[in-house]
Amino acid sequence: MSDSHGNIKPIEKAVNAAGVIDIWLHAGDYIQDAEYLQELTGRRVIRVAGNGDWNCLDSKEDVYFTIKNKNVWLTHGHKYKVKWGIETLREESIKNKADIIIFGHSHIYMEKKLANQVFLNPGSISLPRDGKCGTFAVINFPENKSFFYITKYTIR
């Protein structure tokens, strides 16, 4: 999820809608909400700081990790001009050999496959700019499979 901006009610709705999740990701803009998410679920939350998290100096703006042999890059996206497209983000993702790129900042859901990469912006959980309802996404890695799939959720 991304761009919760201090609104915890949609986070609670997302947790109820998604069910059991192994690892939660928060792509910034109110990083304290990631802490709340971890308390609420008891699960690990990987988080990054966004442009609205200027007071969280100890938090990273980019995090790289591996899940099921896929290199994942989690970033808020503001440093990569994502409101105007994903070209800068893509250039950087190629340099860093990322397979799955998860970002926020635009508050608009986007899922795009380019070559062997998947770009996912889960939208804003609380302040959507592309509709009336907040969104988030779940990436599922089926057991003993080399593929994954993404499910978009809408919060009302």
The CATH code of the domain at 8-155 is 3.60.21.10
In this predicted structure, the answer to whether residue 132 has a pLDDT above a threshold of 90 is no
Mean pLDDT for 130-150 is: 92
CA–CA gap between residue 34 and residue 47 (Å, rounded) = 7
- HSE-CB at 132 with a 13 A cutoff on CA atoms is 1
Q: Which two tokens stand for residue 140?
A: 């599922």
* pLDDT reading at 56 higher than 80: no
- Predicted structure pTM score: 0.95
Q: What is the spatial distance between Cα 154 and Cα 109, in angstroms, rounded to a whole number?
A: 10
| Mean pLDDT calculated for residue range 108-130 | 95
User: What does the alpha-carbon distance between residue 144 and residue 63 come to, in Å, rounded to a whole number?
Assistant: 26
